[in-house]
Amino acid sequence: MRLKPEYFGWFAITAILATNLAVFLDVPFLRLVFGFIFLAILPGSLIVWMLKLNRIGPAEKAALAAGLSVTFLLFFGLLLNNLLLTMGFETPLSTASLMISFDIAFIMMLIAGYAVNGGQVSPHINSHLSRHEKAFLIIPVILPVLSMLGSHIMCTTGNNTVLVAVLLLIPAYIAAVCLYNRKFPERLYPVVLYLLSVSLLLIYALRFPHIWGRDVHAEYYMFQTTLCNLHWSIVEHALLDACLSISLLPTIFQSITGADAQEYLFKGVYVAICSFTPLAIYTISKRYVGGLYAFLASFFFISQSTFLSTAGSARTNVAIFFSALAVMVLFNDKIDPVKQRILFFVFILAIVVSHYSTAYIFFFVVLFSWVAAEMVARKHIFERTMSLRIVLFFFVVIFIWYAQLTDAAFSVGVTFIRDTLANLNNFFLEESRTDMFHLLLGKGLAYSVLSTVNLLVTWCTFIFIGIGVLTMVRKFQGMVDIRGARLQKPDFLKTRFAVDYLTMVLACSGLLMAIVLLPYLSVGYDICRLYSLVVVVLSVCFVIGGIVLSERFGLTLNSCQIILVILLSYSMFVTGVTYQIFGAPVSVILNSEGDAYACEYIHDSESCAAKWLASTVKKNSHNIISVTDIFGSHRLLSQGIISRYRINDYSFSEYGRAYEYIYLYYTNTVMDKLVVNGTMHNMSEYRGAFIRYGRVYDSGSSEIYAK
């Protein structure tokens, strides 16, 4: 069908009117649904329409629309916030002010879209599905429903049968798609990837009724503080002040949708946004290796633990999403160069205001890529994508946002670089590296046989990537788009790589080597987070490595099957379903027992205790609240919305200090345990901390003591 401009216009007007009615009349379910469409779909769709990106495919349009919607909310919301505060309006993020402002902005964008598009129609899109295609989509469509059902059953009864079935059905479906790829329509790959992403992310988001993860508790605290104030501002002059993705963004969604379950909304926002990241990976890879291998490359990204825990690592995954979009538009020859550069700059801005660490790493990738491209340009002639202008723009944005406006993130970044250089003298000390580094070397494995197999599979993925990178370098003349290339392009390659993409691959590979080799890097920044970011670029190298390995050694299995064996094994180990099948309950997603579950799972009674403590302690009081360990502080942060500057989670080793309250949670009271330096200890060893304290609150699984 051909979508005429007036049809899209009527859709936009209907969405605006329906949302206004649902919001101002406060119609519960409709307000949530229409509010979400209004925020997550409409602004990005209007921008894509205004830009007349008619040559790009549906997958690119969907990913761009999602990314531009979030970008619009971040920057228009920030502009509106500061403008209204300057005018003396103290609640710029209230429902009424947001709705009125968005209505005006969307109508202006709609008018601009009409003016730009005129009487033209969009390219032909065949939306009709054959019976054959509908049959292929049956399983992906029901998977999100099964994920929600399985999570609910797991939460209420502890039965993991449905979740295990989902986690087994996904790799089985991937295998079926690859084995029957000649019959599988290529245009369904993006749809399937999106549905698989949603299914997996929902499991990790809905498995726990409350916030789950590590840094996410502080992120949720920032959201709740911004929501309470109904404006964004510097809250604690700390790192998280620089991350609009966890403060301003969810506040806008909450103000418009009016969701009752704010913890579920917080998790759901990031599931909805980051589900589009694999589409960007697919688009990047498809240009070079075709639909099937791009499908596998994208699923390799989906299988990363950081991506799966999106609901518990919000700001990181939003920034990775924008990084993927930046790479996607930078190497997309179907977008006009001027629009391409504008979109790239916009997504750089979005990365910077989403997460400081990801912004720093992506900046170094861009910087090293440009430097390497300059070196290649001395010997070869090629079309330049990366430029000094991009590098300088990126640095200036980082400096202004982190050093001048939000302050803390820039000084921390400088300190991190200084400490990395200062710790080079510890290069040969194993103790200077993290536990993850030791696990990669096979030390401290919990289950000898299963963990060894897991380690071997993980190293196979590294080897595939390494082979892919080395192949690009070794066959430079055939795989990279330079003038006068002397070698023929390999058969598996649809088109040659841009030189700047190769240099970006080398930059990402160099960062991986650096975080392994340099002691302080692995301590100061999580390896899994870095890996998830660089896999945005290196996913295509993973499949190239599998292809080259198959061709080089003439293996019985074809390249697709070789990749499939490693990929599905890797994915099943990451989700924990392989361990579960063999009776090793390591995954908190599939089990309701074990130390990790006891520490991470937040009971309703613990939440009530934290809220009671927050209401009891005076807001203007400067007394410090004592908790047994870091997991106790998590509960006070996300459930009590108590500032971390008022929480001491090392207090039990400091008997001499006086605290107003002591907060104990399930692990402390029921299991009589606490966590010290990552290991469980008996509470009896620390009973001296309770001298002169009396119990003032007891919910059965959570207790509060006061002086």
pLDDT in tens, 580-623: 999 888 888 998 888 888 888 999 999 999 999 998 887 656 67
In a domain, 453, yes or no: yes
Segment 226-232 mean pLDDT: 95
* Residues 562 and 442 placed together within one structural domain of the fold: yes
pLDDT value, residue 260: 87
> Using one digit for the tens of pLDDT, what is the confidence trace for 656-706?
466 788 899 999 888 888 888 778 888 888 777 777 788 899 988 899 988
Confidence of residue 129 (pLDDT cuts 50, 70, 90): confident
- Listed residue (359, 336, 310, 323) closest to 56, CA to CA: 336
CB 214 within 8 A of CB 312: yes
Q: Give the 3-state DSSP-derived string for 317-356, with helices as H, strands as E and coil as C.
A: HHHHHHHHHHHHHHCCCCCCHHHHHHHHHHHHHHHHHHCH
Question: Which range is least confidently modeled, 339-353, 454-468, 522-536?
Answer: 522-536
Cβ distance 175 to 568 under 8 Å?
yes
What's the Cα-to-Cα distance from 275 to each of 66, 156, 216, 332, rounded to whole Å?
Answer: 10, 26, 18, 21
Assess if residue 266 is contained within a domain: no
Angle at 410 between CA 277 and CA 422, to 5 degrees: 105
Nearest to 276 by CA among 237, 315, 307: 307
Is the distance from CB of 286 to CB of 318 less than 8 angstroms? no
Tell me the pairing of strands 625-627 and 661-664: parallel
Instruction: Please tell me the total count of domains within the chain.
Output: 2
| Residue 523 Cα distances to 215, 243, 428, 439, 443, angstroms | 16, 22, 15, 14, 17
What does the pLDDT look like over 174-196, one tens digit per residue?
999 998 888 899 999 999 999 99
Burial label for 301, CB within 10 Å (0-12, 13-18, 19+), is buried
CA–CA distance, 108 with 8 (Å, rounded to integer): 15
pLDDT confidence band for 441 (50 / 70 / 90): low
pLDDT at position 428, please? Answer: 47
Whether pLDDT at 482 is above 80 = yes
Same-domain status, 422 and 532:
yes
Task: Tell me, yes or no, whether 425 lies in a domain.
Answer: yes
The answer to whether residue 536 is domain-embedded is yes
Phi-psi region of 98 (alpha: psi -120 to 50; beta: other; left: phi over 0): alpha
Are 565 and 641 contained in the same domain?
Answer: no
Residues 522 and 442 in one domain: yes
Tell me the per-residue pLDDT of 640-653, one tens digit each, with 9 for 90 and over: 999 888 888 766 65
Which CB contacts under 8 angstroms, 24+ apart, belong to 224-230?
A: 224/262, 224/641, 225/641, 226/93, 226/251, 227/93, 227/251, 227/254, 227/255, 227/262, 228/641, 229/91, 230/90, 230/91, 230/92, 230/93, 230/94, 230/255
Same domain assignment for residues 438 and 558: yes
605 and 573 co-located in one domain:
no
Shared-domain flag, residues 526 and 638: no
Say if CB 109 and CB 50 are below 8 A apart. yes
Q: What pLDDT is stored for residue 599 in this prediction? A: 85
Is residue 410 situated within a structural domain? no
- What pTM was estimated for this model as a whole? 0.93
pLDDT (average), residues 505-521: 77
Res. 425: pLDDT tops 60: no
Q: How confident is the model over 328-343, as pLDDT tens digits?
A: 999 998 999 999 999 9
Instruction: Please check whether residue 61 is in contact with residue 335, taking contact to mean a CB–CB distance below 8 angstroms.
Output: no
Q: Which domain holds residue 524?
A: 418-581
Are 686 and 653 in the same domain?
Answer: yes
Same domain assignment for residues 522 and 558: yes
What percentage of the chain exceeds 90 in pLDDT?
A: 57
Q: How many CA atoms lie within 13 A of 13 on its CB side?
A: 9
Q: What is the mean pLDDT of residues 343-356?
A: 96
Which pLDDT score is estimated for 1? 44
> Which of 581, 611, 630 is the last residue in one of the domains?
581
Which residues, at least 6 apart from 592, have a Cβ–Cβ distance to it below 8 Å? 154, 158, 601
pLDDT, position 429: 52
What is the average pLDDT across 366-392? 91
User: Cα dihedral angle (49, 53, 57, 61), rounded to 10 degrees?
Assistant: -40
- Could you tell me if residue 656 is inside a domain? yes
For residues 570 and 637, membership in a common domain is answered with: no
The average pLDDT across 310-332 equals 94
Residue for token pair 């994915």: 571
Q: What's the pLDDT band for 440 if we cut at 50, 70, 90?
A: low
Domain end call among 550, 581, 612: 581
212, part of any domain = no
pLDDT tens for each residue of 283-303: 999 999 999 999 999 999 999
Task: Output the pLDDT for position 119.
Answer: 54
Same structural domain, 484 and 556: yes
Which tokens sit at 534? Answer: 């660089």
| ∠ CA 680-629-216, rounded to 5° | 110
Using 50, 70 and 90 to split pLDDT, how confident is the model at 467? very high
- What tens digit of pLDDT does each residue of 55-107 get? 889 999 999 999 999 999 999 999 999 999 999 999 999 999 999 999 999 99
Rounded average pLDDT over 392-417: 82
Q: What is the pLDDT of residue 600?
A: 87
Same-domain pairing of 606 and 577? no
Q: Which residue has the tokens 């008997």?
A: 655
Task: Give the list of residues 6+ apart from residue 417 with CB closer than 8 angstroms, or none.
Answer: none
- 388 lies in a domain? no
